[in-house]
Amino acid sequence: MPSNTPSIGDIVALNSHPYSPNQTNILIGGEPQLISPLLIVVEIVGDTQNSFDENIGMQIQEKGTSCQCKCIWYSTKSHQFDEAWLSSKVLKIIKIQEPKDSIVKSIEYGTLVTLKSAQLELSKQKSSFSIESQREKPTINPVLSFVSPVMQVIGTNKNDSKEPKFDSKTGNARSISELLVKCKWFNSSSDKMSEKLIPVEALVLIPNVDDNLLKQIEIFITSKTCLKVKLDTKETIFSPQKLKYTHGFYSVVGYDHLQNRITDVELSNFNTVVEMKDSVEERFPNFKLDEQPDSQIETGIKKAIEQKKYIRIKYKDRVGNVTTRTVVPNNTISEPVTHKSIYLISYCLLRNAERYFNIESIVSLEILNLEHP
């Protein structure tokens, strides 16, 4: 099989789909129902001969370089899993299949699973506009047309397909799944339970949830505790506000003090956290009698640089707008011509770039209780 063709378990899409292998965080405008679902390859047959359209001569199949892929997806309109054979020439790979050994070893009666495309479908969003007071107001809503249900495993079968395992003309192996998983879910359309055999490569495990961890998160929320949480490779200060459940996956909704916004954090990130009494170590100006208020902002900046701490500033721009920024302070410099103004050189987390801030325009400053890398 050609190296650039899909493999069983790959998440693919029609070439007309807006997603690409490197970009799935795309806001969808227009009519999202016209966008095709994300598909999972569950069977592959290589093209054994060239084929052309008899009316216009367009090549449809190319011997040795294309294949036919059996793909599966779930439709929330029909509440059923659908399948179709599609040429690899009309498909693009969105996500490559991960090793299946872990899911095969973990599957047992009652295990929760869903299609591996579910999380990408859950993150799909559409943009629309409404007119209020002669102004356009953008709204963003999820697109859930092809989100598969959370299912329970009730058995497994070996794939005893009667189709030939090898092609008689080329000797190429027919790629099929060796293990089928019998899944059960509640079908709201028929108001009864439905069952289907699904190739194991098309599924992903729903992680087990530790009840003790859920209880601990509830305690953090009730006590309004700030937490030091590691996200990917970076730490942040996070104030949890509520638990959220989305199609089998738990997350915690809360305030990220570095990004200065409400965000969702996967529950797995809370297995190891550090409790903090306060997100802020020191505030400026603090109007202490033994210090000059007009120099306190610069004092706070120097302290943060020495301690390698993040700072959060309220900054007034030239037209008087005040924004909140979390930055990594690097240095201060004087204005090169008049030397009357002093600027803070820092990396701004809002803009993801280096920025210069006039210290005279910094309304207030907080040294956060977190060191930067």
Assign 3-class secondary structure to 221-290: HHHCCEEEEEECCEEEEEEEEEEEEECCEEEEEEEECCCCEEEEEEHHHHCCCEEECCCEEEEECCCCCC
Residue 89 and residue 175 in one domain: yes
Residue 127 domain flag: yes
Question: Does 139 share its domain with 220?
Answer: no
195 and 93 in a common domain: yes
The stretches of the chain forming alpha helices (DSSP H) are 101-106, 118-122, 211-223, 296-307
Q: Which domain holds residue 344?
A: 280-371
Q: Which residue, of 246, 276, 306, is where some domain finishes?
A: 276
> Any idea what DSSP says for residue 291?
S
Helix (H, G, I), strand (E, B) or coil at 304: helix
* Residues whose CB is less than 8 angstroms from the CB of residue 250 and which lie 6 or more positions away in sequence, other chains included: 209, 214, 243, 244, 266, 267
CA 293 from chain centre, in angstroms, equals 44
Q: What single-letter amino acid sits at 56?
A: I
Q: In this structure, are 188 and 233 located in the same domain?
A: no
Closest CA to 194 of 72, 80, 116: 80
Whether the Cβ atoms of residue 97 and residue 42 lie closer than 8 Å to each other: no
Per residue of the chain (373 residues), give pLDDT as tens.
Answer: 444 688 999 999 999 999 998 899 898 888 888 899 999 999 998 766 666 666 666 666 666 667 889 999 999 988 999 999 998 889 999 999 877 666 888 889 999 999 999 999 998 988 876 666 566 667 888 888 999 999 999 999 988 766 666 555 555 567 888 899 999 999 988 999 999 999 999 999 998 899 999 999 999 999 999 999 998 888 999 999 999 999 898 999 999 999 999 999 999 899 889 999 899 999 998 765 455 545 689 999 999 999 999 999 999 988 889 999 999 999 999 877 666 789 999 999 988 999 999 999 999 999 999 999 8
- For β-strands 59-61 and 309-316, DSSP reports them as unpaired
Q: Does 102 lie in the same domain as 244?
A: no
Asked whether residue 117 is domain-assigned, the answer is yes
Question: How many structural domains does the chain have?
Answer: 3
pLDDT in the model for residue 295: 67
Contact 70, 174 (CB under 8 A): no
| Boundary (domain end) residue, out of 205, 230, 246 | 205
Q: Are residues 142 and 73 in the same domain?
A: yes
Residue 56 shares a structural domain with residue 130: yes
Asked if residue 1 belongs to a domain, the reply is no
311 in a structural domain:
yes
The pTM of this model reads: 0.77
